Amino acid sequence: MSPLVISTLLFISFASSSLVRSAKYSVLSYGAKPDGKTDSTKAFAAAWSQACASTKPATLYVPKGIFSLSQVIFQGPCKNNAILVSVAGSLVAPSDYGLIGGAKNWLVFEHVNGVTLSGGTLDGQGAGLWSCKKSGKSCPSGATSLEFSNSNNIVITGLTSLNSQMFHIVINACQNVKVKGVRVSAAGNSPNTDGIHVSSSTSVTILNSRIGTGDDCVSIGPGTSNLWIENVACGPGHGISIGSLGQDVQEAGVQNVTVKTTTFTGTENGVRIKSWGRPSNGFARNILFQHAVMNNVQNPIIIDQNYCPGNKNCPGQASGVQISDVTYQDIHGSSAKEIAVKFDCSKKYPCTGIKLEDINLTYQNQPAEASCTNARGAASGLVQPTSCL
Ligand SMILES: *[C@@H]1O[C@H](CO)[C@@H](O)[C@H](O)[C@H]1NC(C)=O
Ligand SMILES: *[C@@H]1O[C@H](CO)[C@@H](O)[C@H](O)[C@H]1NC(C)=O
């Protein structure tokens, strides 16, 4: 045979074997019921353990319908590194928050590699826990709806997350994660319902997503590097926030974060960096906020290094967190408060290398104001409010 024929035959056998080789596991085969009532937790766990034990690429399939689930741990490591979790239906948490509210999370993937979670709606049914928290009674802190931890090469695409008890999506201690086309929705006054929280992770990308919630749309915790956020709409919510940093004395820093092409509507903050006012060796450096539109945002551009809720364990102390090389480029729109640009930096470690370029923020159709404390840097291009650097 000619080399061409041989390579064509090899290609055909490779292509067909890879089709045959992908194993499919439907949760229905393990007893899950799409009726919105039957607890399908065990069925999901059983289907996952088969997909995870497969030595070939595997698909875990969740068809249309409503599946009632308490905590599911999608535990790795697995025997293959190509698992597609394809969800057509809705996964619903118990309406009694007592059942999972004391657990850290509801649906959690741990120590997995090469998992794609595609589609689906997660409903955390958090409203009961939110009202408990707002009543001042003692309540569990609540479960994060979806967490990936200690995992690599993850894709989350086309997912909708509604009404989580606590955070909606957490990426912790992961490498190479792509989050795309995600929608998060919870009431604007729901406590601690951050949209996407990233911490201790490298090379995370968040694209084309729409987040409305009661806390930060995206929050970026210690130990995050090479994070890229692009084309995200935020509101209601507390904005896109690096922090809180400096809660601990020994803490990993945040570096190389790009937040690009974002829209904030009616939010408490736009782009924020926040640290506790107390000693820490943490830092935030090489941060770029570019192309943001602010619609009636209370603090469009803010660095707050004096975070000290309830004035407990930190009054009067300077933040140890060192903030440097932060660029704000092409940010315009309206501020809901007179001060649209606020840099309130540490008196011990002033912010350095702050750059403002092409900023136009108005308050009631007039130029807004800027306020600087312990902040150093430069402005270029049109900068309105007039820079205080
Ligand atoms: C910064 O992060 C981006 C991804 O967000 C990456 O492509 C780039 O290489 C990183 N730069 C450095 C200096 O690590
Ligand atoms: C700033 O934005 C306002 C509102 O969009 C606009 O009226 C004003 O002309 C802009 N200023 C400059 C100098 O471009």
Cα separation, 86 vs 142, in Å, equals 26
**Ligand number with the minimum distance to the CA of 202:** 1
- In this structure, the answer to whether residues 176 and 313 fall within a common structural domain is no
- Domain closes at, from 205, 229, 254: 205
Q: CB within 8 A of 12, min separation 6: which ones?
A: none
- Domain closes at, from 205, 234, 259: 205
Ligand 2 centre distance from Cα of residue 360 (Å): 6
- In this structure, the answer to whether residues 164 and 304 fall within a common structural domain is no
Is 256 within 8 Å of 286 (Cβ atoms)? yes
- Which of the pair, 20 or 292, is modelled with greater confidence? 292
Ligand 1 centre distance from Cα of residue 256 (Å): 6
End-to-end distance of the chain based on CA atoms, in angstroms?
Answer: 75
- In tens, the pLDDT along 123-148 reads 999 999 999 999 999 999 999 999 99
Is 374 within 8 Å of 345 (Cβ atoms)? yes
The predicted model scores a pTM of 0.94
- In this structure, the answer to whether residues 169 and 32 fall within a common structural domain is yes
Q: How high is the pLDDT of residue 10? A: 44
Buried b (16+ CB within 10 A) or exposed e, 97-126: bebbbebbbbbbbbebbbbbbbebbbbbbb
Q: What is the pLDDT confidence band of residue 16, given thresholds at 50, 70 and 90? A: very low
CATH code of the domain containing 184: 2.160.20.10
179 CB neighbour count, 10 Å cutoff: 25
Q: Which of 111, 197, 238, 291 is catalytic?
A: 238
Evaluate whether residue 82 is within a structural domain.
Answer: yes
Is 319 within 8 Å of 356 (Cβ atoms)? no
Q: How high is the pLDDT of residue 103? A: 95
Cα separation, 319 vs 280, in Å, equals 7
- In tens, the pLDDT along 193-236 reads 999 999 999 999 999 999 999 999 999 999 999 999 999 999 99
Evaluate whether residue 18 is within a structural domain.
Answer: no
296 CB under 6 A from ligand 2? no
The closest-lying atom of ligand 1 relative to the alpha carbon of residue 228 is 5
Q: How high is the pLDDT of residue 2? A: 53
- In tens, the pLDDT along 47-101 reads 999 999 999 999 999 999 999 999 999 999 999 999 999 999 999 999 999 999 9
Q: How high is the pLDDT of residue 89? A: 98
Residue 41 has pLDDT above 80, yes or no: yes
- In tens, the pLDDT along 279-315 reads 999 999 999 999 999 999 999 999 999 999 999 989 9
- In this structure, the answer to whether residues 260 and 292 fall within a common structural domain is yes
Q: CB within 8 A of 140, min separation 6: which ones?
A: 97, 98, 101, 102, 129
- In this structure, the answer to whether residues 261 and 118 fall within a common structural domain is no
334 CB under 6 A from ligand 2? no
Instruction: Give catalytic status of residue 291 as yes or no.
Output: no
Q: What is the pLDDT confidence band of residue 387, given thresholds at 50, 70 and 90? A: very high
Q: What is the pLDDT confidence band of residue 22, given thresholds at 50, 70 and 90? A: confident
Q: How high is the pLDDT of residue 291? A: 98
- In this structure, the answer to whether residues 63 and 92 fall within a common structural domain is yes
Q: How high is the pLDDT of residue 21? A: 63
Evaluate whether residue 285 is within a structural domain.
Answer: yes
Q: Which two tokens stand for residue 13?
A: 């056998």
Residue 7 has pLDDT above 80, yes or no: no
Q: How high is the pLDDT of residue 128? A: 97
Evaluate whether residue 17 is within a structural domain.
Answer: no
Cα separation, 333 vs 292, in Å, equals 8
Q: Which domain holds residue 309?
A: 216-389
Is 372 within 8 Å of 354 (Cβ atoms)? no
185 CB under 6 A from ligand 1? no
Residue 274 has pLDDT above 70, yes or no: yes
Return the ∠ at Cα 364 (arms to 359 and 365), rounded to 5°: 60
Buried b (16+ CB within 10 A) or exposed e, 314-348: beebbbbbbbbbbbbbbbbbbbbeebbbbbbbbee
Is residue 14 exposed (0-12), middle (13-18) or buried (19+ Cβ within 10 Å)? exposed
Q: Count up the domains in the chain and report the number.
A: 2
Q: What is the mean pLDDT of the chain?
A: 95
What secondary structure does DSSP assign to 174-190, as a single string?
Answer: -EEEEEES-EEE--TT-
Least confident range of 44-48, 97-101, 173-177, 183-187: 97-101
- Domain closes at, from 171, 205, 239: 205
- Which of the pair, 14 or 388, is modelled with greater confidence? 388
